Amino acid sequence: MRYRTLGPSGLLVSELCLGTMTFGGSDGMWGQIGQLRQDEADTLVKAALDAGINFIDTANVYAGGESERILGQAIRNLGIPRDEVVIATKVLGPMGEGPNARGASRGHIMAQAKASLERLQMDHIDLYQIHGFDPLTPIAETLEALDTLVRQGHVRYIGLSNWAAWQIVKAVGITEARKLAPILSLQAYYTLVGRDLEREIVPMLQAEGIGLMVWSPLAGGFLSGKYSDGSTGNDGRRASFDFPPVDLARGDAAIAVMRGIASAEGCTVAQVALAWLLHQPVVTSVIVGAKRIDQLQDNIRSTEVALTAEDLAALDRVTRLPAEYPGWMLERQSQYRAAFASRKG
C-alpha cells in the first residue's frame, strides 16, 4: 500500500480508502447498497487496516447515521489507536424533517459535526467534507463555519464533494482572502466510463494542488465485468439501484478492452478499473466499498497491478471524452506559443 499527501498538507493517506456506505442499511436505498451489521463491519475494517489502509470515509446520511455509529464502534472494538486512522465524514443531506435540518448553513454544519462526533465516539474528525453544493447558503458562510470547527479542534482538515470547478475555485479564493482553513480535497465520481471530470475539474485540481478522492470507482458495479451487452444484469447492486448513469454502448466497448488486459495481466476486470485510477496523477485515493471480505481483498489487490503504457493507451482510446468547446479551441490556440517554448537558445 502506498501513501500520498492529501492536497496542500502533510497528511498521508493510503491510495485506497475504505468506504462505509454498506454499513448499517435497512430499508430503501441504503438497504439496497448494504446492510452490514457490527461484526461484519468489524471484519472489513480489520482487513482494510491489516492491508495498510489508514483512510476511512463515511457520511452522516449513510443509513441515517448508522454507518458512522458502526464505524466508530468498530474502531473501538478492534482497539485501534485513534492516531493510526484518518477518518473522513460528510455533511449536507437531510438529517431531519425541517428545512434547516439539511444543507451547508452554519447552523446545520455546527450541529451535524457535533452529532457525527457523538456517533463516531471521537473527539475530532480528520477530514470534514461538504457533501454537495447548497445553492441557498453563501459559500463564505459555509467556509467560515468549517474554519470555526478547525479552530475549535473538532475538525483537522476540510474538503468538498460533488462541486463544480467554478464553485471550488470561488471557495479557494474566499479561503485565501479571509485566511480560512484551506480546502484539501474534492471527493468526486471518476471512472473509465465516467471521465467528465477531465474537462474542467481535473485541470483545476492540478492547478490548485487539491487532492482527489474517487467515489464509486467501479461505476456502481458496472466495471466489475458482470454486466455487458447493454444489460445491468439480474443481480448485483445495479439491478435494483442503477447508479451512477453509464453509457452502456461505450461501457461495453471499455469492458471488452479491459477483459483483454485482465487476461494478459492475470487480474480481474475490476482490478484493471481500479488500477487505471491509481495510474492517474490527479488521483490521491480511491474509495473502495464491499459487502464481503473477498470483495475487499480483490479490490486491495488492484494496488499490485501495473498497467503498461500500451494498456493505458488502449483504455484511453476506447473511453476518452469527445472533444467539446472550448477544449478543442484551447488546444488549437496553445500551439501558437508551444512551438516557441520548445526552442532553445
Beta-bridge partners for 23? 36
Quote the CA–CA distance of 1 and 304 in Å, as a whole number.
9
Straight-line distance from the first to the last Cα atom of the chain, in angstroms, rounded to the nearest whole number: 44
Question: Which contiguous run of DSSP H or E holds residue 166?
Answer: helix 165-178
Only one residue has cell 479542534, namely: 153
Going by C-alpha positions, the residue among 262, 255, 299 that lies closest to residue 278 is 299
In degrees rounded to 5, what are phi and psi of residue 269?
-60, -40
Number of helices (H), then strands (E), belonging to the chain: the values are 13, 10
- Joined grid coordinates for residue 302: 488492484
- Catalytic positions, please? 62
CA angle 195, 12, 199 (to 5 degrees): 15
- What is the C-alpha to C-alpha distance for residues 115 and 230, in angstroms, rounded to an integer? 43
What would you measure as the largest C-alpha separation in the chain, in angstroms? Answer: 69
**Long-range contacts of the stretch 112-115 (C-beta < 8 A, 24+):** 112/60, 113/149, 113/154, 113/155, 114/154, 115/60, 115/65
User: Which positions ≥6 away from 24 have C-beta within 8 Å?
Assistant: 30, 34, 35, 36, 37, 41, 62, 63, 66, 67, 69, 70
